[in-house]
Structure 1
Amino acid sequence: MFTNDMMECKQDEIVMQGMDPSALEALINFAYNGNLAIDQQNVQSLLMGASFLQLQSIKDACCTFLRERLHPKNCLGVRQFAETMMCAVLYDAANSFIHQHFVEVSMSEEFLALPLEDVLELVSRDELNVKSEEQVFEAALAWVRYDREQRGPYLPELLSNIRLPLCRPQFLSDRVQQDDLVRCCHKCRDLVDEAKDYHLMPERRPHLPAFRTRPRCCTSIAGLIYAVGGLNSAGDSLNVVEVFDPIANRWERCRPMTTARSRVGVAVVNGLLYAIGGYDGQLRLSTVEAYNPETDTWTRVGSMNSKRSAMGTVVLDGQIYVCGGYDGNSSLSSVETYSPETDKWTVVTSMSSNRSAAGVTVFEGRIYVSGDLQQCESGWHAQQALPARSRLPGEQDVCLRGLRWLWLPQHCRDVQLCGRPVVPDCPHAHAPEPGLPGGQLWAPLRCWGLRWTVKPKLSGDV
């Protein structure tokens, strides 16, 4: 304004339209003393002033402040404000928050006050985090009923963007079809009939509009994906933790672990993520720490009885089991279980052979351990299953005595397994052969429609 040949550079007094006086004063003081207090009352006016004065650092700080305080009751307003101020990062964060918390957002006053175009855009999104399509229907109907006289005619357009065929048949008959707004609208009834035909006549499904029968992303992707520790390209153990959000389709850094860990065991119990044992670059570890995603903090918990890395880790009945592993000298056969309630590790029955980097999973109350990593050979070895624990009526404490390991037939393919025994359908992968608990048999596992999809890389050198 003052450095270019504009009319203001020749004026003694300039009126700044839309500028909050207190915000301008705070920004001028910041230019002299470097101090600025951002709070709920002044954040928007400060952001507008910083944008006008091209103070990018202040603008970024205000965006961060708003992003950290997103809530189902304010996220729609924050998104609109971010769009007005051309704050792309804040806009994307608010958008992702709306999709992730759609059910709660749909109950807010901001949602009920949205114009039709915004509601249509929302209910048509693949990224909505809903347990079922029925929640989207209820949200749209609540929006219409908020101003029934004005919004009633919009119902057919709304329903055409809702994936009614994915609702339960009972819900379609008892809830959707019986609603008075739907019953009095011919176009709405046609959409309900189409959804019912989807269930009654499967052979006609290919003729329905594809988007109307496509599941929302979050009905098939459960939660978040964490990458914990590991090795970088130089072979150094890392304390880095990253999380992948399937909705936003990006990786973000979490607070790092207190200890660098590679070949670490990871388990999730009661909303906490446990990093168990591993290798810090010099020693195998017995220490364990738990991550709380709500507070983004790590807390040390009880250590294992043995140091180990490359162990198999599973959760059964709310307790963590670690099977085998490597202690720096040899593979282990020992098994330990951790109770989050008592914060104690207990040694239970060992496996019949030493195993490290084995595949471990739980099926119908049993722990299955498959294969291991040998120094001199790469192959599958005999599988073992830990029978489910039995409890007496009324018994609360789990009795760990009497556990025993059962041998299952040897795998017939010559492959090496690290992690859980699941292999995608690709031309260069052998099909896994799961043990059937009911008999001493292996059966090839057939997978339909599985394919690899490229996702964003982790942000670090992992």
Structure 2
Amino acid sequence: MADDRVVFCKEDLPIAAFPIIVDIRKQGKLCDVTLKVGEQKFSCHRIILAATIPYFNAMFTHDMVEAKQDEISMQGIDASALESLVNFAYTGKVELDQNNVQSLLIAASFLHLQSVKEACCDFLKERLHPQNCLSVRAFADQYMCSDLVESANKFIQNSFKQVAGTEEFLGLDRADLTDIISRDELNVNNEEQVFEAVMAWVKHVMNKRKEHLPELMVRVRLPLLTPQYLSDKVATEELVKSSLQCRDLLDEARDYHLMPERRTLLQTFKTRPRCCTDIPGVIYAVGGLTSSGDSLSTVEYFDPVVGRWIVAEAMSTMRSRVGVSVLNGLLYAIGGYNGSERLCTVEVFDPDSHRWKKVAAMNCKRSALGAASLNGKLFVCGGYDGVSSLRSVELYDPKNNVWVMSTSMHKYRSAAGVAILHGEIYACGGHDGLSIFDSVECFNMTTGLWRTVASMNSKRCRLGVAALNGQLYAVGGYDGAMFLKTVERYDPTTNTWEYVKQMKVKRSRVAVAATYGKVYAIGGYDGQANLNCVEMYDPSTDTWSFVSSMSAHEGGVGVGVVPMENCSM
């Protein structure tokens, strides 16, 4: 016997009904409550407000006094913002602009309209700039918008030089200034910029602020300044000369330079280089391999904002398994393999002039090397010289155009992943020609020593490594049996690795870069073919998604991120 009950569902009924309710309200019909702000009044329907605005839901359904009143006075809320949010209750739409966004955020916070509050935060995030980021951060902190506070903090760190030149910066209170200049992640070319920002802040209201200089100078990393700058600029500054505490800090910095044998005793946060790992920039893909195995001189770049790859000026040399790093806004292509021999040559690309030029060659031939920049120097670690894997390390001084040998790693590492985290160089995985490693070692510039840290969960060579948000990501690679799509993340505070979401595609010889708060896995080899596809990891959602594929490469590239301020496209 057939069931004689049927449920008919008109799914668009709520959507169709609300425009009619809006028309009824415009006619002033069936309204049963009036909201009053000052002299302005807004006629509404209790049931609509209760259904769409949590504040009114609580008011009208919990026997509050206002539940029975025909007219309700609203205190502490802007009239135009309330009008916009009442309209939102009926239409689901609200228009945001520079003039109303703050008052709307305050009103939405008051009414517990979280979706509108988040939309206001997103609006402000997208419009952060050096002139407003400090006031936006203070506003966001007041109204407990934690994501917006974090975005403003990152913007301040990434754009410190520009922010430090604003009136808002000079108007900071001492606590906020101390907080900013204490951060490891400040994006500065050198510590001179921090010292000069502090002096500008003190001199802006010198009579009231000069007493704070000693405690601020503690947060300036004076040992990172050159001896010449310490003598010519810091020691001659009258405010420093007139402060016994500041002179003691200056002497401590001089001792650091004059007595290198005591540096291990003087090692504090003051000797730790600043290291901003989340600078918005353009990803350059350099060299690589064709499907037939030939090396390439091809270069292209990816702007995450535009979302597409564009071919750039080619190198003068074909290079696969090339080391790539960015120093002072310039892109370096280091060593590699040209199809017949391993290379010691190095060339550098200036994004402003769009030209490559050769600089001093390394002391050793290296392909499958790791490269990173730190404290004004370029470091290359390990690699393969055509005969064996290497554990030697070289550093390049761009001022003198010279490579010198540095402390060797503990292990011979070819095809390792190398990145900078909290002012230290990490070398992850790789192989020595016989064994593939899960081990990780870390170099501290102050001590001049490598130390072993926690091993990865997987053995990996030909992996990619990048630092983001104070953590290290090890991506893909080859473990001796399988081409990997697994990804793991290192937390230096706990010295532990944990797996995160794996990629969609297996990638050995993968290049990895971090920018705009995301990690990009670029190209590689899946065990059957070279890859031109690119995936992006979002740590906030623990998800990978495909973005535009490379247009001129088939895999095996080296990558570097050039800060936006250095790009002229």
Taking a change above 3 Å as real, the CA distance of residues 125 and 29 of structure 1, as seen in their structure-2 partners, is same
2:95 maps to 1:84: no
CA contact (8 A) 1:426 1:451 kept: no
Equivalence for 2:284: 273
2:507 maps to 1:449: no
Equivalence for 2:6: none
Give the unaligned 5+ runs of structure 2. Answer: 1-58, 342-348, 352-359, 370-383, 389-411, 420-424, 435-447, 455-470, 473-488, 490-499, 501-536, 546-569
Equivalence for 2:432: 430
Q: SS at 1:110's partner residue?
A: helix
| Deviation (angstroms), 1:370 | 6.2
Structure with higher strand content: 2
Counterparts of 2:106 and 2:324 in 1: how far apart (Å)? 50
Counterparts of 1:340 and 1:106 in 2: how far apart (Å)? 26
The one-letter code sitting in structure 1 at the alignment partner of 2:260 is P
CA contact (8 A) 2:337 2:367 kept: no
| Deviation (angstroms), 1:58 | 1.3
| Deviation (angstroms), 1:190 | 1.6
| Deviation (angstroms), 1:367 | 7.9
| Deviation (angstroms), 1:34 | 2.8
Q: SS at 1:139's partner residue?
A: helix
Equivalence for 1:296: 306
The one-letter code sitting in structure 2 at the alignment partner of 1:295 is V
| Deviation (angstroms), 1:28 | 1.6
CA contact (8 A) 2:302 2:310 kept: no
Taking a change above 3 Å as real, the CA distance of residues 323 and 135 of structure 1, as seen in their structure-2 partners, is closer
Equivalence for 1:213: 271
Q: SS at 2:73's partner residue?
A: coil
The one-letter code sitting in structure 2 at the alignment partner of 1:57 is S
2:461 maps to 1:460: no
2:158 maps to 1:97: no
Which among 143, 156, 159 is matched to residue 217 of structure 2? Answer: 159
Taking a change above 3 Å as real, the CA distance of residues 43 and 138 of structure 1, as seen in their structure-2 partners, is same
Equivalence for 1:69: 127
2:69 maps to 1:30: no
CA contact (8 A) 2:160 2:188 kept: yes
Counterparts of 1:186 and 1:424 in 2: how far apart (Å)? 39
Counterparts of 1:322 and 1:166 in 2: how far apart (Å)? 29
Q: SS at 1:2's partner residue?
A: helix
Counterparts of 1:193 and 1:178 in 2: how far apart (Å)? 13
Which among 192, 209, 212 is matched to residue 134 of structure 1? Answer: 192
Equivalence for 2:203: 145
Taking a change above 3 Å as real, the CA distance of residues 182 and 323 of structure 1, as seen in their structure-2 partners, is closer
Q: SS at 2:450's partner residue?
A: coil
The one-letter code sitting in structure 2 at the alignment partner of 1:192 is L
Equivalence for 2:245: 187
CA contact (8 A) 1:370 1:381 kept: no
| Deviation (angstroms), 1:198 | 1.6
Counterparts of 1:205 and 1:383 in 2: how far apart (Å)? 37
Counterparts of 1:74 and 1:131 in 2: how far apart (Å)? 23
| Deviation (angstroms), 1:3 | 2.5
Counterparts of 2:366 and 2:181 in 1: how far apart (Å)? 42
CA contact (8 A) 2:235 2:250 kept: yes
| Deviation (angstroms), 1:159 | 0.8
Counterparts of 1:296 and 1:85 in 2: how far apart (Å)? 32
Counterparts of 1:421 and 1:156 in 2: how far apart (Å)? 38
Give the unaligned 5+ runs of structure 1. Answer: 219-223, 225-244, 248-253, 255-269, 281-285, 305-309, 326-331, 342-361, 372-379, 385-414, 433-446
Counterparts of 2:104 and 2:227 in 1: how far apart (Å)? 52
2:97 maps to 1:39: yes
CA contact (8 A) 1:133 1:162 kept: yes
Taking a change above 3 Å as real, the CA distance of residues 209 and 52 of structure 1, as seen in their structure-2 partners, is same
Q: SS at 2:543's partner residue?
A: coil
The one-letter code sitting in structure 2 at the alignment partner of 1:41 is N
Taking a change above 3 Å as real, the CA distance of residues 95 and 431 of structure 1, as seen in their structure-2 partners, is farther
Superposition map of 1:251-290 within 5 A: 271-274=282-285, 290=300
Q: Give TM-score scaled by structure 1 length.
A: 0.58
| Deviation (angstroms), 1:146 | 0.5
Which among 151, 165, 169 is matched to residue 111 of structure 1? Answer: 169
The one-letter code sitting in structure 1 at the alignment partner of 2:140 is A
Residue deviations 1:251-298 (CA, integer Å, cap 9, x gap): xxx9xxxxxxxxxxxxxxx94534889999xxxxx9x99554363320
Residue deviations 1:425-460 (CA, integer Å, cap 9, x gap): 68995399xxxxxxxxxxxxxx94255576344433
| Deviation (angstroms), 1:102 | 1.3
Counterparts of 1:274 and 1:427 in 2: how far apart (Å)? 22
CA contact (8 A) 1:2 1:8 kept: yes
Equivalence for 2:14: none
| Deviation (angstroms), 1:89 | 0.8
Equivalence for 1:439: none
2:208 maps to 1:125: no
| Deviation (angstroms), 1:421 | 10
How many residues align structurally?
A: 332
Q: SS at 1:217's partner residue?
A: coil
Residue deviations 1:318-363 (CA, integer Å, cap 9, x gap): 89899999xxxxxx989xxxx999xxxxxxxxxxxxxxxxxxxx95
Extract structure 1 runs of 4+ deviating beyond 6 A: 275-280, 314-325, 419-428
The one-letter code sitting in structure 2 at the alignment partner of 1:297 is G
Q: SS at 1:449's partner residue?
A: strand
Counterparts of 2:228 and 2:336 in 1: how far apart (Å)? 45
Equivalence for 1:257: none
2:173 maps to 1:173: no
| Deviation (angstroms), 1:383 | 6.0
CA contact (8 A) 2:365 2:385 kept: no
Counterparts of 2:254 and 2:299 in 1: how far apart (Å)? 50
Taking a change above 3 Å as real, the CA distance of residues 35 and 429 of structure 1, as seen in their structure-2 partners, is same
Superposition map of 1:272-351 within 5 A: 272-274=283-285, 290-293=300-303, 295-299=305-309, 301=311, 312=321
Identity %: 43
Taking a change above 3 Å as real, the CA distance of residues 368 and 212 of structure 1, as seen in their structure-2 partners, is closer
Counterparts of 2:363 and 2:385 in 1: how far apart (Å)? 22
CA contact (8 A) 2:160 2:186 kept: yes
CA contact (8 A) 2:417 2:429 kept: no
Equivalence for 2:374: none
